[in-house]
Structure 1
């Protein structure tokens, strides 16, 4: 018997994985217990944030396998992750399944991809067993790139990205957690089945959602200038702009069959993700 805990269960990936696993889940770890999903088995709910090492340690006592869903974007997210990883190791967690990023690297073009790489290194250094789910950008979020008039602006050029549906990521995570020992020390790249450009995504969203979208390429200077009124935080500006430059570079265009290998179905298309299928 193993004890399984899931963090981020109030979000789409953690919550969907928890519902798919049902009574296999023993513990949900959340910041706000009122947002805990209702799932079969009625798992225990523990309150902790990644930044609170003592609370995380207490929440993870007795846990064998942990799904560590990456935290919300923040300037100190990497330190939050490192604190949570230390707490897991100190609590005796044996195996961490971590939702990382497809382009994770110390010098990733997407600046937040560097946080994921360093988090992976912290998990490796902890001596816990690990599985890394490196997911691409989310198909579901493509409409969120657009302004109110449907314009998507950024320095991506004709670059393509093998974006993936969040539900596919959650289903892949659930598949790993059903038999975690079989996936120890494995890294999976969770992508969609095709690589699409912003121009193509705009045309397909226009058809699927019945409202107009279009893509306007920008220079780096134009991208920063257009976003400065929205934030005075340089890390946030860099993250926003590098989302586009990472796609423009082509480093996120490769597709894999890892979603199908884990879930036994083809990855969802952009249209299916937009319909919530």
Structure 2
């Protein structure tokens, strides 16, 4: 079995690459910039982007199992995903392990969740087997929602999210890649141990960091207006705002036990993520 890992210069892909290298598992890293690839024993490096079908096909030659980390947010991300999925199938890849999104659907409230649904469909439309890792929002991102004034602002109302630690997503992916045959054509919902509101999240950040943090409920109009200072393109503004409306409508409130079922370890809490992150 030969393995390829995309996104090895990022948080999830990098953690998976380091874990497999520590096991002595050989694999190929597929990156956009070879100079940024981590130096890990027993690894190869290939260069390709998701939008370059020829380079991706060449990078995947001889690969059995592909860990496909979803691409960076972009207006054409779905087109890029479809291109790289076709390239993998053309190269003879037999199994794709893809980082998708909890509740991915054609009409997901979180607009980027729609890209993930159609990417899953692109994989299903090939002869390749799949394992879809449908992760919730990242607990690691919660602290980044806090503004300079110590306030989290968004139209999430009193909704809750079962956000998951990046480290847990990486641990699940690593377990799947160590024994992919056990996870053929499976879909896992990767969540934290509990669904929390943004008010609860703010309280945890405040306690751990020792500074006042609060949550302010915005209306939709206020949410779009307050984000205009960054001059986002319309698709990006919709994605930012729908992050909160997906929490409000309960799309991300379901708690799953899949992290522990796959890894044998319970998922991390927000407090544990913040403490591991440090000051």
Question: What TM-score bracket applies, with the shorter chain setting the length?
Answer: over 0.9
Partner of 1:33: 34
Specify whether residues 25 and 274 from structure 1 end up closer, same or farther in structure 2 by C-alpha distance, changes over 3 A only: farther
Tell me the alpha carbon deviations over residues 48-81 of structure 1, each in whole angstroms, 9 at most, x when there is no partner: 1101111100111110000000011111000010
Structure 1 position 18, deviation (Å): 1.0
1:127 shift after superposition? 1.4
* 1:249 and 2:261 aligned: no
User: 2:96 — aligned with what?
Assistant: 96
Stretch deviating more after TM superposition (176-185 or 209-218) = 209-218
Unaligned runs of 5+ in 2: none
TM-score by length of 1: 0.97
Cα contact 1:30–1:36 (8 A) shared by 2? yes
Q: Give the deviation of 1:176 after TM superposition.
A: 0.4
Provide the residue aligned with 2:234 in structure 1.
Answer: 234
Aligned to 2:221: 221
Partners of 1:30 and 1:48 within 8 A in 2: yes
* CA deviations over 1:26-45 (Å, ceiling 9, x no partner): 2000111122123332x110
Q: How many residues align?
A: 275
User: Helix, strand or coil: the match of 1:153?
Assistant: strand
Measure the CA separation in 1 of the matches of 2:119 and 2:208: 37
TM-score, normalised to structure 2's length?
0.97
Q: Where in structure 1 are there 5+ consecutive unaligned residues?
A: none
Shift of 1:24: 1.6
Task: String of CA shifts for 1:139-174, please: whole Å, max 9, x gaps.
Answer: 000011121112110000110000000000000000
Say whether the 8 Å CA contact 1:98–1:132 is kept in structure 2: yes
State the alpha-carbon separation in 2 of the partners of residues 232 and 95 from structure 1.
36
Shift >3 Å, 4+ stretches = none
Residue number in structure 1 paired with 2:107: 107
Who is 2:11 aligned against?
12
